[in-house]
C-alpha cells in the first residue's frame, strides 16, 4: 500500500511562498545562461484544468516521479534567442553546423535548468503522477515558453518545510484531577450518504454507496459523536487497522 499524502488546502500548496523558491532558481539560472531576458513565474501554482490551451507537453525536458519540466510548442526558438541575446530566425539555422551548435547550447542550458529544479523540489514516492499543479514560465515577459508540472506530494513537502513545526499551544489546566481521568470518545467522520427508503431496503451484499466527502477534503473530528473541528487529517494504514494522523488545524495555514 502506498504512503498516504497528508491533506493540505490549496491556499497552502499553490501560494506565492511555494512559488518563491522556484522563481529564485529561475532568476539564478537566467543570470548564468541568458544573454537577454529572464525566466519568470506567476505568483501561484495552478490546477492544470484550464491550461491545456497553452499547448504544454509537446516535449518533456526533465522527468522524475512527481515532477516534469515541459517545453511549450515554439518555445525552443524563443529560448535560443534569449540564450544568444538576439532574435533567431530561419536564416540562422540553415546549415547543419548552425543547427548542431544551437542544439548543443540549448541542450546544455536545459539540462542545467533541469538539474537545478530537480535539486530544489522535494522527491516524491515512485509512481506519483506530476500533473496535480502547473507553473507556466515566461521569458522576458513575451509569453509562455516552459511549464513545470508538480505532483501534490511535492508541494505538500514544500509547504511543510516552509511552515516548520506547528505553533505551540498551551494546554489548559484541568478543572479538577477527576476530570482529567474521564474517558472521551474521539472519532473522525469519513462521510455519509442519503438515499430513498426504497433503495435502502433493496441494498444487498456487494452494493457500493458513494459518500458525500470529496477524497481530498479534510475530515470532521468529532468528540462523543458531535463535530468539534475540521483539520488536516489523514488516514494512515497501520499493521491491522487504520490510524488517524492530525497534521494541524486548517486555520494555521
Cα-to-chain-centroid distance, residue 3: 16
159: part of which helix (H) or strand (E)?
helix 152-163
Are residues 237 and 122 located together in one domain of the fold?
Answer: no
- Residue 22's SS3 state is helix
The answer to whether residues 42 and 144 belong to one domain is yes
Same domain, 199 and 143: no
Over residues 121-142, the pLDDT tens digits come to 998 877 777 778 999 999 987 7
Full residue range of the structural domain in which residue 119 is found: 10-163
Domain check: are 199 and 108 in the same one? no
pLDDT of residue 28: 96
Can you give the pTM of this predicted structure? Answer: 0.70
pLDDT at 247: 65
Evaluated on CA atoms 184, 185, 190, 196, the torsion sign reads negative
Residues of the chain with pLDDT under 50: 1, 51-55
Question: SS3 of 155, please?
Answer: helix
Asked, for residue 171, whether it belongs to a domain, the answer is no
For residues 226 and 251, what is the distance between their CA atoms, to the nearest angstrom?
A: 20
What are the helix (H) ranges across the chain?
A: 10-13, 16-33, 75-84, 96-120, 152-163, 177-180, 197-201
CATH number of the domain residue 235 falls in: 2.30.330.10
Whether residues 188 and 77 fall in one domain: no
- For the beta sheet containing 219-223, the strands, ordered from the edge strand earlier in sequence to the opposite edge, are 186-189, 219-223, 226-237, 242-249
- Judge if 218 and 96 occupy the same domain: no
pLDDT at res. 1: 46
151 and 123 Cβ atoms separated by less than 8 Å: no
Does residue 169 lie within any of the structural domains?
Answer: no
Q: How many domains does the chain have?
A: 2
In a domain, 77, yes or no: yes
Answer yes or no: is 50 within a domain.
Answer: yes
User: Do 188 and 246 fall within a single domain?
Assistant: yes
What is the chain's mean pLDDT, rounded?
A: 82
CATH number, domain containing residue 26: 3.40.1550
Contact in structure between 45 and 150 (CB atoms under 8 Å): yes
Alpha-carbon span 72 to 59, nearest angstrom: 7
Same domain, 112 and 220: no
**pLDDT tens digits, residue range 73-108?**
888 989 999 999 888 888 888 888 888 999 999 999
- pLDDT score of 88: 85
- Verify that 58 and 148 share a domain, yes or no: yes
Q: Does residue 1 belong to any structural domain of this protein?
A: no
Amino acid at each position: 500500500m502506498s504512503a498516504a499524502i497528508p491533506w493540505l488546502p490549496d491556499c497552502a500548496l499553490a501560494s506565492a511562498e511555494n512559488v518563491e523558491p522556484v522563481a529564485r532558481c529561475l532568476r539564478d539560472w537566467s543570470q548564468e545562461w541568458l544573454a537577454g531576458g529572464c525566466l519568470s513565474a506567476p505568483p501561484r501554482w495552478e490546477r492544470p484544468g484550464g491550461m491545456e490551451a497553452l499547448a504544454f507537453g509537446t516535449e518533456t525536458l526533465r522527468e522524475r516521479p512527481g515532477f516534469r519540466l515541459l517545453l511549450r510548442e515554439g518555445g525552443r526558438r524563443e529560448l535560443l534567442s534569449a540564450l544568444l541575446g538576439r532574435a533567431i530566425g530561419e536564416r540562422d539555422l540553415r546549415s547543419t553546423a548552425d543547427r548542431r551548435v544551437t542544439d548543443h547550447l540549448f541542450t546544455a542550458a536545459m539540462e542545467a535548468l533541469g538539474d537545478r529544479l530537480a535539486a530544489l523540489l522535494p522527491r516524491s514516492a515512485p509512481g506519483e503522477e506530476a500533473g496535480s499543479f502547473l507553473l507556466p514560465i515566461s521569458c522576458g515577459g513575451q509569453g509562455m515558453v516552459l511549464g513545470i508540472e508538480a505532483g501534490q506530494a511535492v508541494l505538500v513537502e514544500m509547504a511543510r518545510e516552509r511552515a516548520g513545526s506547528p505553533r505551540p499551544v498551551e494546554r489548559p489546566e484541568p478543572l479538577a484531577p477527576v476530570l482529567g481521568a474521564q474517558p472521551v470518545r474521539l472519532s473522525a467522520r469519513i462521510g455519509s450518504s442519503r438515499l430513498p427508503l426504497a433503495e435502502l431496503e433493496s441494498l444487498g451484499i456487494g452494493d457500493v454507496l458513494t459518500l458525500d466527502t470529496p477524497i481530498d477534503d479534510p475530515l470532521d473530528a468529532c468528540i462523543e459523536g458531535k463535530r468539534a473541528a475540521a483539520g488536516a487529517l489523514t488516514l494512515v494504514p497501520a499493521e491491522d487497522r487504520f490510524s488517524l494522523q492530525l497534521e494541524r488545524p486548517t486555520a494555521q495555514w
